[in-house]
Structure 1
Amino acid sequence: MILPLLFLLASLLQKYGSEAESSHVTKFHLPSVKQQNGVQDSEQEKIITVSGEGMVQSPDFPRRYPRNIELTWRLVAPSNMRIQLTFDERFGLEDPEDGVCKYDFVEIEDLSEKAVLGRWCGSQSVPTSQTSKGSQIRIRFISDEYFPSEPGFCVRFSLLPVSASGPEVPAVLTPSQQDIENLSETVATLSTVEEVMKYLEPERWQLDMDELYKPTWHVLGKSFIHTKKARGGVDLNLLREEVRLYSCTPRNFSVSLREELKRTDAIFWPSCLLVKRCGGNCACCSQRCYDCQCVPTRVTKKYHEVLLLKHRSGGRGLQKSMTDVSLEHHEECACVCNDDWD
């Protein structure tokens, strides 16, 4: 009687011990990357499955964020939905340098378009709302080792149906959709290169400014400086010099770059530049001269660095780059008689 009971007890212990061991192993192998609210940790970024409303923010928001960190969140929505981002009114990161966010900034990238929607820093104004064109968007926050600010940032996200994400045809043509003549007229009215960039790319103009002034392999502009020796001291010479200044001499003229360079396929900013060209009358020319004209006797080429705008092929927006243009400058002028008096 005792022997069968011992066999039964041993069998039960073996069975339940195996189940306990199996349960322990299954629990150990559960994916450790899964967290609450659909958040997963990966080596490079935190993946957030967007099924409703939520938020991402700088560490310790709304207090001073830590130094020397880089955080990335990838928001993933269903394929038939779009992601809308709205910034909290409390926004403040390290100020930009020369209008460009170089040190501490938050950046939003539309992964379906492979395009950066914007980069923001400082505390002058809260970034505008953003809506993705696809179902994935990336938010990146970087702070360097100097001058952390407060309160940092907080971005709230929500879902929009594809039909509600925006009209298919914009009511106003974007700069890249305008023809070259209309775009040229508009750009010519802008006062600074910052205004040009803001008009062309309102959401990413700071990135364009940063890229624009990076060193490139294009030929650097050249400068030719010519000094004039002034003589005089006596009244007669001074009077003669004053007359010469208003006679046939090199003087400032404004020229349209598109007309001067015969480039109707491009837009330049500034659209006009100053050049030295011969001007003034030839009243002091020989009295025997019937047709006296002011002409250049010494001409040089000078190089000016300007902003060049061109349409990309296939309607892929505008190409923006710094380029050198070569313009003629008249260094010396003289009155030349075309027809002698017979």
Structure 2
Amino acid sequence: MRFTYIPEEHPTTITNPSRARSEGKGVQEPQHEKIITVSANGSIHSPKFPYTYPRNTVLVWRLVAVEENVLIQLTFDERFGLEDPEDDICKYDFVEVEEPSDGTILGRWCGSTTVPGKQISKGNQIRIRFVSDEYFPSEPGFCIHYTLLVPTESASPTILPPSALPLELLNNAVAGFSTVEELIKYLEPDRWQLDLEDLYRPTWQLLGKAYIHGRKSRVVDLNLLKEEVRMYSCTPRNYSVSLREELKRTDTIFWPLCLLVKRCGGNCGCCQHACSECQCVPTKVTKKYHEVLQLKPRSGVKGLHKSLTDVPLDHHEECDCVCKGNTEG
């Protein structure tokens, strides 16, 4: 099999001499790497896509296809925008794709003038790295759709259409999309706009039932339904914790007695892992300091010693559903 790689054109350069920052180092950063087992087509994206991504972020995804004899194709969403390059080099905010089998960097992209082209792995794995520094985050970030390919005797691999996937794999693929538009594009790439219009176009039968039964007064916003489910699924949310219990300080009184922290909560009803039971666990934990009033008995003296002090509390920034017993995510 032969694959020809055509380099992408560099985006237009916007130079900012006042910023002296070093170029990012290589794609391999194991401490940040998240392994995604791929059994169907899906997508990954920058945090908060299609809105401004966070600063000071390093994310690495390694996509690993379940079957060893398939390839992975990456297709960038047309909505693409990262911080502009400097001297035609993406030094600061960028997304980078690496071929894990030999460490080849297939491309590094930033700016917003050019959407990166399709990338195809040599084997059943491919690695993606996203980096942003402390300055000038942009929007919308990026979204990458990944597709399983089956190599054939010819030079080009064959794309598995959704209709050819087993129902269980298709169900997993559908679960990975964030909006109805992305899903319809995946199912019907040649006529997705027509299908999307038809989906939301009311018919006389629908209006008739709504009028008679009073059950359906408007077309449901499916994107909103999905967002509502996400809010009550495995996500960070506010919890009040007792400082004495949290810090195991029974010899001290704190005021306030409790503080709000972000902790993982919700259920894993939509967990896609092949296991009997899923659990919601933190995948990113940060320690934050809170200033409180501390009251401690004085040794040999009546009264309490009063002072302001900083107490460290763990906050769960990101959560995910994993198989029960696997706390590593």
Fold shared by both chains (TM-score > 0.5): no
More helix by share: 1
- When normalised by structure 1's length, the TM-score is 0.36
Larger radius of gyration: 1
| TM-score normalized by the length of structure 2 | 0.37
